[in-house]
């Protein structure tokens, strides 16, 4: 049983406000919920109302050191646990998360403003699936027999790296935490997660639930600001691997700090994902796919959002009109309401950034802003960070809205006439995370898929990250892969060669 400084509910709860209060002001270190050593906290705000719903512990280097020291002690024993048994424990974690899916969906909707039905509950379910998937891979931590000489037995073995520092963002914090924690644990590492400032509660609740199953210290979590909490985690001498999801600018800082220690890094840094639509596509399926691709239900706050849509000219006008009509039918409102399709932007700072892009696009000569959906009418939501989705047409390739990641409900649709020309435009980007192609001509689709500069290319669909499918970008979208067996083997173990001379 956890040694808790205050009471948190043992069983799943349907009151996210009470749960948020119960989780206030603590990290989870060595199996215990503990306050920051400084006693400092910072507010957690419901972006749908502007009201403070909790406080998070404001960690610093002292808290990070305590978490890392705990992880380092626990990792030695954890690495000796047979791999399949580690996997079985991680699989048991999946079952525990699945029992709390509704609770976690409510909690993440409260702190991030993501709609419960379309986003938050779905994310919680995928988290359980990720732990379940990696829990079954303990037996895949295999080495090889290497032919060297008749009198020499030469084999390789997979060994854990040690303590993994994981830094996660706020847009899908539970899922991105799972993609880092589950494979790291199965591989025999211990983990310290630094949560996002804007969304620390649901990931803390998951950490608490999993610490009922895992040995103390194997999975720790701290919250705080980047420079005061994230930077000491990356720099800590006992951290032997860093996995980070966030902005390109911060990713470069993390990479430089890790380079000083010569430790491996996995970086997922965002995207400006193109969606290419040919006139021979299944039109209704493609319009529906565009709504999913743009992640409108998440207010466009996704690295894989199709924020550049290229439509073959014969169907361009019809596509724009029907896409607008489809977004208009989506309901924007209280994230905790089952009727809501679209929730809020995460924070005031992000709201202002997105609004500045919209204002710039609207003021661009020749551009048209197709403003969609409708603001919520509930007076209780008047202070909420709601932004109506916007579809821009008439912007050229030099526009910031075409070139920069907005991370909001804004997409630009442009017509094209030639496959080679649109391929060149799609590849003319600093990013290379994801892309999608929509055509019934699979010869054309496969040809372009091979030549698109992206880590994940989908034809006639644009699913979110799925367990067992390798996920990660090229160019400024990052380094390394997640979500697959490959990710566990290549990014959370190192390969040791052992040779035995039998003469």
- Residues designated as active site: 268
Residue 249 in 3-state DSSP?
helix
Give the DSSP letter string of 141-165. ---EE---BTTEEEEEEEEE-SEEE
- What the block records as the tokens of 360 is 């710039």
In this structure, the strands spanning 219-222 and 190-194 are parallel
Cα 216 to chain centroid distance, Å, stands at: 26
Candidates 220, 221, 183, 184; CA nearest to 199 is 221
Q: Sign of the C-alpha dihedral, residues 482, 488, 490, 493? A: positive
Check if the beta carbon of residue 201 is closer than 8 Å to that of residue 56: yes
Closest CA relative to residue 349, chosen from 116, 40, 45? 45
Which residue is listed with tokens 């303990």?
A: 138
Three-class DSSP category at 270: coil
Q: CA-CA-CA-CA torsion for 97, 98, 99, 102, nearest 10 degrees?
A: 100
Among all chains, which residue has been given the structure tokens 């054309």?
444
Contacts of 6 (CB under 8 A, 6+ apart): 22, 26, 33
């Amino acid at each position: 049983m956890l040694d808790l400084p205050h009471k948190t509910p043992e069983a799943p709860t349907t009151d996210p406000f009470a749960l948020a209060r119960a989780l206030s002001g603590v990290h989870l270190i060595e199996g215990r919920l503990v306050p920051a050593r400084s006693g400092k906290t910072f507010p957690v705000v419901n972006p749908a109302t502007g009201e403070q719903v909790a406080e998070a512990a404001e960690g610093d280097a002292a808290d990070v050191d305590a978490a890392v020291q705990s992880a380092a002690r626990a990792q030695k024993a954890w690495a000796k646990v047979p791999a399949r048994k580690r996997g079985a424990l991680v699989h048991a974690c999946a079952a525990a998360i699945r029992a709390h899916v509704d609770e976690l969906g409510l909690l993440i909707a409260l702190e991030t403003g993501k709609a419960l039905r379309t986003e938050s509950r779905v994310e919680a379910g995928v988290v359980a699936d990720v732990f379940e998937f990696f829990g079954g891979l303990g037996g895949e931590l295999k080495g090889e027999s290497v032919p060297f000489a008749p009198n020499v037995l030469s084999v390789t073995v997979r060994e854990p790296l040690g303590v993994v520092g994981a830094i996660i963002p706020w847009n899908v914090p539970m899922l991105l935490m799972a993609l880092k924690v589950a494979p790291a644990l199965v591989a025999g590492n211990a983990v310290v997660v630094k949560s996002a400032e804007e969304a620390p509660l649901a990931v803390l609740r998951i950490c608490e639930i999993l610490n009922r199953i895992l040995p103390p210290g194997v999975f720790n979590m701290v919250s705080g600001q980047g420079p005061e909490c994230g930077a000491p985690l990356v720099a800590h001498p006992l951290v032997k691997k860093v996995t980070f999801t966030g902005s390109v600018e911060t990713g470069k800082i993390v990479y430089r700090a890790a380079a000083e220690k010569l430790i491996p890094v996995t970086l997922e840094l965002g995207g400006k994902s193109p969606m290419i639509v040919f006139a021979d596509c299944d039109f209704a399926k493609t319009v529906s796919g565009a709504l999913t691709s743009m992640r409108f239900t998440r207010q466009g706050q996704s690295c894989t959002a199709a924020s550049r849509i290229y439509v073959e000219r014969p169907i361009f006008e019809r596509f724009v009109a029907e896409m607008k009509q489809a977004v208009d039918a989506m309901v924007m409102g209280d994230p905790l309401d089952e009727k809501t399709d679209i929730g809020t932007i995460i924070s005031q700072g992000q709201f202002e950034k997105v609004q500045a892009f919209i204002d710039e696009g609207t003021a661009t000569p020749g551009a048209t802003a197709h403003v969609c959906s409708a603001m919520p009418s509930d007076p209780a939501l008047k202070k909420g960070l709601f932004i109506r989705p916007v579809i821009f047409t008439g912007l050229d390739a030099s526009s910031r809205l075409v070139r920069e990641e907005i991370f909001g409900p804004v997409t630009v649709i442009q017509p094209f006439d030639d496959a080679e020309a649109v391929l060149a435009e799609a590849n003319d980007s600093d990013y290379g995370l994801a892309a999608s192609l929509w055509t019934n001509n699979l010869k054309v689709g496969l040809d372009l898929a091979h030549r698109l500069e992206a880590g994940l290319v989908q034809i006639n669909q644009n699913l979110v990250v799925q367990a067992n499918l390798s996920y990660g970008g090229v160019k400024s979208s990052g380094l390394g892969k997640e979500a697959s067996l490959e990710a566990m083997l290549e990014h959370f173990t190192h390969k040791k060669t052992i040779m035995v001379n039998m003469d």
